[in-house]
Amino acid sequence: MFPVVVVHGGAGQVPKERSEGSSLGVRMAARAGYAILRGGGSSMDAVVEAVSQLENDPFFNAGRGSLLNIKGEVEMDAIVMDGKTLGCGAVSAVLNIANPIRLARLVMDKTSHVCLTAEGANRFARSVGVPEVPPESLVTEYSRMCWAKNLAPGTNRGDSQMSQMGKMGTVGAVAVDRQGNVACATSTGGVANKMEGRVGDTACIGSGGYADNQVGAVSSTGYGEAIMKVNLARLILFHMEQGQSVEAASGLGLAYMESRVGGLGGVVTVDPQGHWAARFSSLQMAWAAAQKDTLHYGMQTGEDFTHSIDDPL
Ligand code: ASP
């Protein structure tokens, strides 16, 4: 079994001027996650490190760079799950935390609950010493520009999936470590110009992510209202339980979401043997995977570029 980490930077359509930055971001994140696995670290540490890096990268819709709600504010969701114990932690609608994925992990590690939301999540963050940052520090010029554009008269207000597909950039990762433990992590600013208090798939166990050592792990991205209706992550693992490969199961889950509720999206998937897949039904999804000291990456359907993990990016 070869340890592996697979990272995504959100399903959708990556604007041309952001494609190089998005591709570089996922490759760097996969490399950071892989360094942990190569050093004998856990899959949970690897996915949290990879996703934290992407939260810090303003090219992605998570942490700094999150899309804004209708009031022009950041409201973020994040989830982690540990396939060994089925332990999971999530936060939703948090405003002023630089790395919601680390807070989600603390919910898993330090509380008896699975998900904390809004002000309660912030109070918990304070109690465990997670620093709060000024909410404006997470807002970028690009996210402000998307928000203003969506407010313009005649613009589709972000309540349909087609209006979303040009603006995604949610981040996520799955990994398998040397012990065969699988884990997932997903983090997002949600959909553009969403209603205040809207919580998407990312914070919902089985939708935005799921991990079980007996089957595998999935991190999802796409239109959350569609992902939640089909429980996308768990649906893919169900197909794997029925004997499908990671690749086939991922394709079946995405195809069902498209035919049943008209939803587009993408996933990264692993099984405990180290097989992996990065699949999407959207136009694009920046992704990268690291295994056997090789970095794989792509953004358009069918792409799988490779180079040695230690080559300059
Ligand atoms: N799934 C996220 C949400 O609906 C958005 C995305 O993946 O881009 O909140």
Ligand 1, closest atom to CA 168?
Answer: 8
Is-above-0.85 flag for pTM? yes
Q: What is the pLDDT of residues 9-64, one digit of tens each?
A: 999 988 888 899 999 999 999 999 999 999 999 999 999 999 999 999 999 999 99
CA-to-CA separations, 311 to 28, 31, 49, 257, in angstroms, rounded:
11, 11, 20, 38
How high is the pLDDT of residue 18?
87
Looking up tokens 């940052």, which residue turns up?
133
How high is the pLDDT of residue 168?
67
Element (H, E) at 124: helix 118-127
Task: Please state, in angstroms and rounded to a whole number, the distance separating the CA atoms of residues 11 and 9.
Answer: 7
Annotated binding-site residue? 198: yes
How high is the pLDDT of residue 154?
66
CA-to-CA separations, 272 to 34, 201, 215, in angstroms, rounded:
16, 24, 7
Domain positions in the chain are 4-308
pLDDT tens-place values along the chain, 313 residues long: 899 999 999 999 888 888 999 999 999 999 999 999 999 999 999 999 999 999 999 999 999 999 999 999 999 999 999 999 999 999 999 999 999 999 999 999 999 999 999 999 999 999 999 999 999 999 999 999 999 998 887 665 545 554 555 566 899 999 999 999 999 999 999 999 999 999 999 999 999 999 999 999 999 999 999 999 999 999 999 999 999 999 999 999 999 999 999 999 999 999 999 999 999 999 999 999 999 999 999 999 999 999 999 999 8
How high is the pLDDT of residue 28?
98
How high is the pLDDT of residue 262?
95
Tell me, in angstroms, the distance from the centre of ligand 1 to residue 202's CA.
Answer: 7
Tell me the best of 159, 191, 225, 264 to mutate to test the pocket of ligand 1, counting ligand atoms within 8 Å of each CB and taking the most.
191
Question: Which CATH code of 3.40.50.300, 3.60.20.30, 3.40.50.460, 3.40.50.720 fits the domain covering 4-308?
Answer: 3.60.20.30
Task: Please state, in angstroms and rounded to a whole number, the distance separating the CA atoms of residues 237 and 218.
Answer: 8
Dihedral of CA 11/17/20/21: which sign?
negative
Catalytic residue annotation: 170
Ligand 1, closest atom to CA 77?
Answer: 9
